[in-house]
Each structure stands twice: as structure tokens, then as C-alpha cells.
């Protein structure tokens, strides 16, 4: 990697409406009552799948700030094999993978039923929007090669 193609601060200057819309969409998931720690696990997992170094680091920082267990953060990449995740977290992580890897395969009825059993319709709508939002952020950060943040969120 050879540095940012467009610096994060520059992107915010040239596309403030995009940044605002994505932040508002992300805030809607939090405002819905979904657990902030669960949302950080979802954002971390999508960012791992997408190889987004900025977002991986950012959401690790945020998750730690919120008190998400370090073991869960360490094992998010292999959540299916780890027995430390709750059924609700497992459903959210499976939904994250299904939505993030949607190209060419769609969403199975089994994936939908699993997440639908764990979340209300309103929660599922907001969870799905949160997953979509982090995937957009991942694509922006990967495309423009954002450097990972330091030890505190930026």
C-alpha cells in the first residue's frame, strides 16, 4: 500500500452529504435500541471480510471502549467455531456474512429464518441497514486506502 488515494479528511470535505447520510444511517441503528456492542461486532466482522484495515482498527477501538469482551474481538474472525458468542450474536454475525458476501448467491431462507428468530422485524430492519452501512464505509476506506486510526477513535 502506498498511502491514501484520497485522505479521509478530504473525502469529508468533498462529499459531506455522503458522510452525513452514512453517519445518520449508522445512528439510526443505535437509536433503534440495538446493543452498541453487538453493532460493533457486526461492523468488525464485515470489515474483516472486506479487508478494510481502517474499519477493523476503528471498530476494535470502539468495541473496546464499549466493553466488548476481548476474547470476542479476538475470535470474531472465527465466530462459527467459538462457543463464546450468544445465540443473538451468532445470528447477527451469520446475517452479516450473508449480506456482505451476497454477490452471486443471494440470501438463503435458512439465513433469514435464523436471524428472524433472534430479532424483531424492526431490529432486523435496523441491523440490515447497519450492515449495509458498514459495507459502504468499507468500500470507501478500501478504495481510498485510509490509514488505520491510532489508539483513540478519530
Domain 16-143 class in CATH: mainly alpha
SS3 82: coil
What count of other Cβ atoms lies within 10 Å of the Cβ of residue 55? 25
Query: Cβ(1)–Cβ(143) under 8 Å?
Result: no
Model confidence pLDDT, tens digit, residues 94-121:
999 999 999 989 999 999 999 999 999 9
Query: Cβ(149)–Cβ(65) under 8 Å?
Result: no
Query: pTM surpassing 0.85?
Result: yes
Q: Quick check: 30 pLDDT over 50?
A: yes
Query: Cβ(44)–Cβ(130) under 8 Å?
Result: no
Helix 121-143 and helix 109-118: axis angle, to 10°? 120
Which ranges of 51-108 does DSSP label H, i.e. alpha helix?
53-66, 70-75, 87-100
Distance in angstroms (rounded) separating the CA atoms of residues 52 and 118: 28
Model confidence pLDDT, tens digit, residues 1-21:
458 898 899 999 999 999 999
Arithmetic mean of pLDDT over the chain: 94
At residue 149, the pLDDT reads 85
Distance in angstroms (rounded) separating the CA atoms of residues 24 and 32: 12
SS3 42: helix
Query: Cβ(46)–Cβ(58) under 8 Å?
Result: no
Amino acid at each position: 500500500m502506498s498511502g491514501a488515494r484520497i485522505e479521509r479528511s478530504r473525502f469529508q470535505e468533498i462529499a459531506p452529504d455522503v458522510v452525513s447520510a452514512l453517519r445518520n444511517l449508522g445512528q439510526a441503528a443505535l437509536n433503534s435500541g440495538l446493543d452498541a456492542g453487538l453493532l460493533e461486532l457486526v461492523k468488525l466482522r464485515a470489515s474483516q471480510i472486506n479487508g478494510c484495515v481502517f474499519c477493523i482498527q476503528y471498530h476494535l477501538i470502539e468495541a473496546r471502549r464499549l466493553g466488548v469482551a476481548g476474547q470476542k474481538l479476538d475470535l470474531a474472525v472465527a465466530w462459527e467455531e467459538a462457543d463464546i458468542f450468544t445465540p443473538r450474536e451468532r445470528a447477527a454475525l451469520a446475517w452479516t456474512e450473508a449480506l456482505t458476501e451476497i454477490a452471486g448467491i443471494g440470501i438463503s431462507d435458512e439465513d433469514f429464518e435464523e436471524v428472524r428468530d433472534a430479532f424483531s422485524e424492526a431490529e432486523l430492519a435496523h441491523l440490515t441497514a447497519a450492515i449495509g452501512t458498514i459495507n459502504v464505509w468499507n468500500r470507501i476506506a478500501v478504495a481510498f486506502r485510509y490509514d488505520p486510526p491510532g489508539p483513540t477513535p478519530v
